[in-house]
Amino acid sequence: MSCLADRATAGTVEYIAFACFLEWGLIHVAGFLMMMPAAIKGQFKEIVAISLSKLPASVQWKEYEALQEEGTGIQDNQKGVPVFATRQHMQLAICIGGAGVSSIVAGVITTWYPSRYMWWVAFPAFILDFGYWLVADLIDAGNPIAEVQTYIISFAMIVCSIKTWECYGETMAMWELAYMLFFPILLVFVGAIVKVLYLTGIWECPLRFGDTTTQATSFTELA
C-alpha cells in the first residue's frame, strides 16, 4: 500500500477498497433517494420494503397493506399508519445518504490522500451497515445484494485500518489498530456464521411464506 510519500501510485488492494467504498456509497445514496419520498408521503409499507425486502412476499405483509389502506402517516384520521410515524424515517433516509457520501469520501482518501483519521471518515458507513445487519440480516429478511454490502464495507474498513497503521503507525498505539480491525472482522465472522445457520436450516427465517403455520424455530427462540 502507498503512503504519503508515493500517494499517486495506489496499489491493487487500495483500488479494490476504493471500489468497495464507492459501490457501498452509491447503493446507499440510492437508498436515500428511494426512502425519502416514501417517508415524506407517509407510506410506511414502502419504507419497510426497502430494508426488509423479503417481507412483501411473506404472509405478514398483509398486515402492512391493511394498515396503510386505512391511512398513511400524513393523514390525521386516527386510523392506519399513525400520523407523523414516518417522519423518523426521513431522518433515517438522511443518515443513509450521509453515510453513503461518507463512504465515497473515505474511499478517495484511503486510496489517494491518506489521512490519520481516514478510518473515522468511513466509520459512519460501517456503523450504519451494522445497524442494518441487526435489523434485516439477523432475521434473514434481506436480499443477497443487501447482505453482501456488509462484507463489502467490512473489507474496505479492514484495508483502511491497515493503511492507517502503515502510514501513521509511529503515532499510533497498538490498541488503536486492534480497535480498528476488531469491529469489521467481528462483523464478517458473525455475519458468516448467522448466514450458514440459515442456509443449513439450523435457524429458520421468522417470516412466513405461504399459508403455513408459524415456523417452529427462529433465531429468537434459539437466543
* Structure confidence at residue 216 as a pLDDT band (50, 70, 90): very low
- The amino acid occupying position 109 is I
Q: What is the pLDDT of residues 66-99, one digit of tens each?
A: 999 999 999 999 999 999 999 999 999 999 999 9
Is residue 86 within 8 A of residue 42, CB to CB? The reply is yes
* Structure confidence at residue 10 as a pLDDT band (50, 70, 90): confident
The percentage of the chain sitting over the pLDDT mark of 70, rounded to a whole number, equals: 91
Spatial separation of the C-alpha atoms in residues 25 and 102, rounded to whole Å: 7
* pLDDT higher than threshold 90 for residue 211: no
Is residue 28 within 8 A of residue 96, CB to CB? The reply is yes
pTM, two decimals, is 0.89
Neighbours of 163 (CB within 10 A): 24
Stretch 132-161: mean pLDDT: 97
The percentage of the chain sitting over the pLDDT mark of 90, rounded to a whole number, equals: 88
